[in-house]
Amino acid sequence: MTPDAEHAPSSSALGGRLLTLTAGPPAAGGTFVARHEGRVVFIRGTTPERP
| Rounded distance between C-alpha atoms, residue 47 and residue 34, angstroms | 11
Q: Summarize pLDDT for 7-40 with one digit per residue, the tens.
A: 445 455 566 778 888 888 888 888 899 998 889 9
pLDDT band at 4 (very low <50, low <70, confident <90, very high): very low
Residue 19 is predicted with a pLDDT of 84
pLDDT band at 51 (very low <50, low <70, confident <90, very high): low
CA neighbours closer than 13 Å in the CB half-sphere of residue 13: 5
Residue 49 is predicted with a pLDDT of 66
How far the first Cα of the chain sits from its last, in Å, is 30
In the chain, the DSSP E strands lie at 32-36, 39-43
CA neighbours closer than 13 Å in the CB half-sphere of residue 2: 3
The residue that leads in pLDDT, 14 or 50, is 50
